[in-house]
Structure 1
Amino acid sequence: MCTLLSVGILERARVEWFATAFGLVVGTTMVFVPYEFGAALFQFIYPYVRPLGSLFLMGSATMLAALLYPSWPAFVGWLGRALFLGAVGFYWWTATVLPGGLTGLVLYPLLAGLLLLEQAPRFRGRGLLAVFIAAVALFFGVLMVLSPHGFIRFSLLAFGPFIRGLGALFLGTGVLLSVGLWRGWLGLSRVALAGLCILFLNMALALGSRGSWAGVGVYAVLTVSCAVLTWVRELPVLSGVRWRLFRGMALASVLPILGAGAVASFVAQRAIEAELRSKAQQAVSAETAWLEQTAYMARSLLRAQSRDPGFIAAVRDGNVEGMSERVDLLENDSGLFDAAWLLDSAGNTLVPSTKLNRIGANHNYANREYFQQTIQGDNTVLLSRPFLTRAGLPFVVFTTQVELGGGRRAVLVGGLSLRRLGLQPTLASRSYHVELFDRRDGTLLRETDRGDVLTRAPVLGMLTPQALSTPEGMLEAFDASGHRLLVAHEQVSETPWTVVVTARLREAFAPVTRMGAWVVAIAVLAGTISLLLSRWVGRDVARRLESLRDGFAALGTPALERRVQAGGDDEFAQLASGFNDMAARIDRTQQELREAIDIRDQFLSMASHELRTPLTPLKATLELLIRQSESSQGLTPERQRAIFDRLNRQVDRLTRLIGDMLDVSRLQSGRFALTVAPMDLVTLMHEVMERVQSTRPEREGLLSLAVPDAPLVGRWDAQRLDQLFTNLVENALRYSPPGTPVAVRVREEDGQVRVDVEDRGIGIPAESLPQLFTPFYRAGNAAEHYAGGLGLGLAICREIVERHGGRIQARSEGPGQGTCFTVWLPRAAVSGAT
């Protein structure tokens, strides 16, 4: 059962539907994939993205419920609008005003204003969605023309100058839509909406191609809205059981799945976030441990070599071969240093590096910072700042003094190539982006992605040195492209180095994003299946209800034979079966009512005729008596007796008619009671036969009575039995031709008394036998053979017999074959008698 009330969609489409769809899309994105809002544009909103998405979902779901169930209290809709507007206000301020965005500066206030304006009495029953779309188109067109660079990311076009052309298209279609709405030109409005559908689709696809899913929602909903307003001619307002099932399934199938999925997504995100932080911490710790081990081994080797007596003696004695042998051992056999050389106290090369010497000759290094710090310091191992060698190679060196005695000293240098250091695979570098920089000046020592060194550490462009000054920590930052990063940092002990491990949250949370996408897809699929099932079930239910409706409509009409199909074994089948039973009872009742009306009409006709029959001779006889009493002539005694006998018979006839009607009235009102007492049925039958015979002298010798010799004593109501048998015998005489006998037989049978009254009269048709004892009913041949009566006698006879606990039966072979009435009376106490 579904009713379609068609109205113009451009005049009725409401902004509230757009707001609901937008809130559901944005809220779902925020709850399921919150890290899509990790761009720098959303840096103010990011800490609250999941609660904000929940607020969007709650407000939109409440508005949707109010739209689907308009009979609910008005505060439900206002609650949904309040939650939605609160979320929109926060989103507008943090994602548009604070970052200085352009697109949402007017878009969201316009949405909020028109949403509230629709609730005003002036706009009650009207929709402002087309007005909203026209305003957005005009606003976007002006901004694209005046500030095209802010909209390059909103276009699939490859070149920025075309953005002004896109803005001109927006401006033109917005003007066309505004004129069409103002002038009421539906064709022009639909052409403009079709163009805007393409333009908004371009913006949605452009943002999607750039991975900016956070901004796709509003433009996707705008695209769908323009498509609906373009191609849907009329707005259907559904009612009936199909619509009720549809909207119930829409809420019951999609929203719980989204809610459960949101909880699961939240739990998974928290678990992955904890795991990501743990792994990042492990990675930075592993990287730090490897560097600490490298630095420790380098110090240990240099310290051991600088304190070796043989090496000290070779340096003191100027033994070039001995010094070179030890320096070559550090450079080539340690597996740690990429170069090693020995300097005297003036910075001159005593033993050059064999690797570096291939490029340049021996030099004086007195101007090097690492040499000056080593000469001025003690004999501990020092770690230098990174520098470029004379060959242009990035190095960092460990230096220590070699005490030669007598105030003499030398400087032993072990160098590490930063290029080789950046190529060393570690646990962190395989899964994360790793940076190693010198805290003293922020110089980059190692970077896994690019391998560049001796530049400013990229992480210092995202975080301040103060933020990385703690021994270890975990931070979040934005890279140059606006993507959010997880940053784990730790200082390498006994060195001026800091290790930074970074991971992109979008990539790290890609499994959760995929899971969220699957949940949303499953929710949409489940919702689609549920809606299809609701449509199928609703069609089946509506078909059955329509069948019941048609059946109810047929009640009381001539189409009463129409019945409802009661297929199946559900409640509808039971209802249909009950309806059919009720309809059958109504059919029977109406049939009985019609028969009762026919009998009533027949009774009124017969009663008026029967009452008029004795009254006419009564009146005529009385007028005769009056005339003769006024005349001088008197009546002879014989003549007077005849007149009085005639009057007496007519009065008796009236008395019987009135008595029969009173008895029927008592029967229908339940006041027909018996007064039983012991009596002899044989004696009663003799009295009845004598009385009937005396009133019908012409039947002398035609009435016969056969009774037992002994008395038949029982507890009966003598007056009612007298009425019973008098009616039966008089009926037999009334419907028997003159000269035909009437026989009455009384005998015992199976502990009961049986009385037969048989005549050779007109008989009874077979079709009239079942209704013979119905009040006011007369057989067809009895009506043709007028013998007087109202059709009440046999009904009274049946009631008398049944009140005595007996039964009465009529038998006839057909018209002209006579009739036999048989009465069985029990001799025991009578049920219900007093």
Structure 2
Amino acid sequence: MNISIFISQNLERILVEWEAFAATFGAVADKMSSEDLRDHARQILEFVAEDIETAESEQERHAKSQGLATRTARSESASSIHGRLRYASGFTLLQLIAEYRALRASVLKLWRAECVDVSVDSAQDITRFNEAIDQSLAEAAVAYSDRLNETREMFLAILGHDLRSPLAATLTAGSYLSRPGAFDDRVQQIGIRVKRSAASMNGMVNDLLGLASTQLGDGIQIQRKHCDLLEMSQWAIEDANASHPNAAFELHASGELIGEFDQPRLQQLLTNLANNAAQYGAPGKPIIIDVVGENDRVVFKVRNEGSVIPEDALPTLFSSLVQLPKQEGDARPRSSLGLGLFIAKQIAVAHGGDIHVQSGVETGTVFTVDVPR
């Protein structure tokens, strides 16, 4: 008896083992009914049996072995629904994969117990069965991961949005307390620290919202308006100085800096680069910011002295949640989420430009951003 016929004739036996295995996942399965534990297992087994019987060309078989199998015209497979529902029920991805491992083992164990003869055809059956199980697992895992990513990014977006109002109030309070001459020196210093902390948190919130936007597939959205990039650069340095009051920023500007750009986004980009330079640069050494307006583009360069970035680390700098390791003897606290350079890259790309980095003993570390007009 081939595997497809065996599955069709022994669905209930296989489902009993599936349910028993799923029930071993502890608290996540304790309150689930038999129907919930079985979920779409029957439809998945029916798909597997049907797939084994479906004629395949050599080209189709090769495509399936590489995960490139053509999907049938259906809105959503039982495997995908199973992956989504397992996520909603609190199963981990490892538990989802374990279910399929148990399903594979159960079918083969029961089938071999009844079909002791092994032939070329049965070997082919096992190959087709494994291919079908792998395809079903892949669809379930993709659906599970999609739901996980959607939830995570929605959480980040909501978190960032809800933090804006209390941060604005904190920043206003810090500005009020730190006004020269309004209060004694002790209160003024408290106000400066409050303002500095609020500015740092505000930068993190902006980066979280940028990450949520890119991960949800929308990318960084820009709105070009008439603006002055010299003024924007001065504001960016003020933002970075609020978080790093001991950093020495030097701004050099030349050329035509008025044009059609998304000023708030470019200010976020330059602030992130300035914060990065202050965080990783040599203490006491100036951070040089050059802004040059050329005929067809504007070029930003942010240079700091300090430890050379290892060459093997350069390709990963613009990935999300990446931080360089602390250098020996550097006791400065790290307040970054590892998103600043990632967001800067996304903003540059959204403007049709790009960002590059060079790091050497003589040149220091230089981030260069090209933004087309």
TM-fit CA distance, 1:668: 2.7
Does the residue aligned with 1:780 lie in a helix, a strand or coil? coil
Q: Distance in 2 between matches of 1:672 and 1:783?
A: 36
Q: Which amino acid aligns with 1:755?
A: F
Distance of aligned partners of 1:772 and 1:692 in 2 relative to their CA distance in 1, 3 Å threshold: closer
Measured after TM superposition, the shift of residue 748 of structure 1 is: 4.6
Instruction: State which of 815, 819, 825 in structure 1 corresponds to 2:365.
Output: 819
Q: Is 2:198 the partner of 1:651?
A: yes
> How big is the shift at 1:717?
0.8
TM-aligned CA distance change 1:651 to 1:689, over 3 Å: closer
Picking from 241, 257, 274, the partner of 1:712 is 257
1:727 match: 272
**For the Cα contact (< 8 Å) 1:810–1:820, is it kept in 2?**
yes
CA separation of 1:639/1:826 partners in 2, compared to 1, >3 Å: closer, same or farther? Answer: same
Q: Are residue 639 (structure 1) and residue 186 (structure 2) matched?
A: yes
Alignment CA distance shift 1:691-1:777 (3 Å): closer
CA positional deviation for 1:737: 2.1
1:747 aligns with 2:292: yes
Alpha-carbon separation, structure 2, partners of 1:675 and 1:765: 36
SS at match of 2:300: strand
Query: Is the 1:680–1:711 contact (alpha carbons within 8 Å) kept by the matching residues of 2?
Result: no
Does 2:321 correspond to 1:800?
no
Cα distance between partner residues in 2 of 1:666 and 1:2 = 50
Aligned twin of 1:680 = 228
What SS does the aligned partner of 2:349 have? Answer: helix
Give the secondary-structure state (helix, strand or coil) at the position aligned to 1:747.
strand
* Matched letter for residue 684 of structure 1: M
The alpha carbon displacement at 1:817 in A equals: 8.0
Does the C-alpha gap of structure 1 residues 795 and 739 become closer, same or farther in structure 2, counting only changes over 3 Å? same
Q: SS at the partner of 2:226?
A: strand
Whole-angstrom distance in 2 between the partners of 1:677 and 1:788: 32
The answer to whether residue 331 in structure 2 is matched with residue 770 in structure 1 is no
Provide the residue aligned with 2:106 in structure 1. Answer: none
Q: Does the CA contact (< 8 Å) of 1:2 and 1:238 recur in 2? A: no
Distance 2:124 2:312 in 1: 40
**Counterpart residue number, 1:667:** 214
**Matching residue of 2:303:** 758
**Structure 2 alignment gaps of length 5 or more:** 4-113, 171-182
SS of 1:797's equivalent in the other structure is helix
RMSD of Structure 2 on Structure 1 (CA): 4.7
Shift in alpha-carbon separation, 1:809–1:756, aligned structure 2, 3 A:
same
How many Å separate the matches in 1 of 2:249 and 2:244?
10
| 3-state SS of 1:707 partner | strand
Alpha-carbon distance, 1:650 to partner: 2.1
Cα offsets for 1:729-763 (capped at 9, x unmatched): 12101111212232222235672222111211234
Distance apart, 1:790 and its partner CA = 0.8
Is the 1:764–1:818 contact (alpha carbons within 8 Å) kept by the matching residues of 2?
A: no
Q: In 1, distance between residues paired with 2:220 and 2:348? A: 12
1:526-545 correspondence runs (5 A): 539=120, 542-545=122-125
Shift of 1:677: 0.7
SS at match of 1:737: coil
Q: Secondary structure at the match of 2:265?
A: helix
Structure 1 spans left out of the alignment, 5+ residues: 4-235, 243-538, 556-578, 619-635, 828-834
Q: Structure 1 residues 801 and 753 mapped into 2: Cα distance closer, same or farther (>3 Å)?
A: same
CA displacement 1:101-141 (0-9 Å, x = unmatched): xxxxxxxxxxxxxxxxxxxxxxxxxxxxxxxxxxxxxxxxx
Q: 1:782 to 1:662 in 2, by over 3 A?
A: farther
Q: Distance in 2 between matches of 1:770 and 1:671?
A: 21
Q: Contact 2:282 / 2:304 at 8 angstroms: preserved in 1?
A: no
State the match for 1:318 in structure 2: none
For 1:797-830, what per-residue CA distance to the aligned partner results, in whole angstroms no more than 9, with x for missing partners? 122111111111222349x984221111010xxx
Give runs of aligned pairs for residues 246-645 of structure 1, distance below 5 A.
539=120, 542-550=122-130, 637-645=184-192
Q: Check the 8 A contact 2:200/2:243 in 1, yes or no.
A: no
| Highest RCO, 1 vs 2 (Cα 8 Å, sep ≥ 6) | 2
Does residue 689 (structure 1) correspond to residue 269 (structure 2)? The answer is no
TM superposition shift of 1:662: 2.5
Distance in 2 between residues matched to 1:656 and 1:692, nearest whole Å: 9
CA contact (8 A) 2:359 2:366 kept: yes
Q: Are 1:809 and 2:363 counterparts?
A: no
Runs of 4 or more above 6 Å deviation = 236-240
Q: Bigger radius of gyration, 1 or 2?
A: 1
1:474-532: CA deviation from partner (whole Å, max 9, x where unpaired): xxxxxxxxxxxxxxxxxxxxxxxxxxxxxxxxxxxxxxxxxxxxxxxxxxxxxxxxxxx
Query: Cα gap change, 1:650/1:784 in structure 2, threshold over 3 Å: closer, same or farther?
Result: same
Structure 1 pair 787/706, CA: closer, same or farther in 2 (3 Å)?
A: same
Q: Which residue does the alignment assign to 2:26?
A: none
The structural deviation recorded for 1:671 is 7.3
Does structure 1 conserve the Cα–Cα contact (< 8 Å) formed by 2:300 and 2:369? yes
State the shift of 1:663 in Å.
2.7
- Percent identity reads 28
Q: Distance between the aligned counterparts of 1:2 and 1:239, measured in 2? A: 11
Question: 2:230 is matched by which residue type in structure 1?
Answer: V
**1:332-391 deviations in Å (ceiling 9; x for gaps):** xxxxxxxxxxxxxxxxxxxxxxxxxxxxxxxxxxxxxxxxxxxxxxxxxxxxxxxxxxxx
Contact 2:251 2:288 in 1 (8 A): yes
**Cα separation, 2, equivalents of 1:589 and 1:744:** 44
SS in 1 for 2:352: coil
Contact 1:763-1:817 within 8 A present in 2 as well: no
Partners of 1:674 and 1:808 in 2: CA distance:
17
CA contact (8 A) 2:353 2:369 kept: yes
SS in 1 for 2:358: strand
Task: Tell whether the 8 Å contact from 1:765 to 1:779 is kept in structure 2 after alignment.
Answer: no
Closer, same or farther: CA 774–545 of 1 in aligned 2, 3 Å: farther
Query: For 1:72-111, what aligned pairs fall within 5 Å after superposition?
Result: none
Amino acid of the residue matched to residue 314 of structure 2?
Answer: L
In structure 2, the partner of 1:331 is: none
Query: Tell me, what secondary structure is at the counterpart of 2:246?
Result: helix
User: Structure 1 711/817 Cα, relative in aligned 2: closer, same or farther at 3 Å?
Assistant: closer
The residue identity in structure 2 corresponding to 1:722 is: Q
Aligned pair in 2 of structure 1 residues 783, 658: CA closer, same or farther (>3 Å)? farther
Deviation, 1:724, is: 0.8
How far apart, CA to CA, are the structure 2 residues paired with 1:716 and 1:663?
Answer: 18
| Structure 1 residues 809 and 750: CA distance shift in structure 2, 3 A | farther
The Cα shift of 1:722 comes to: 0.9
Q: Deviations over 1:28-56 (max 9, x none)?
A: xxxxxxxxxxxxxxxxxxxxxxxxxxxxx
Is 2:243 aligned against 1:698? no
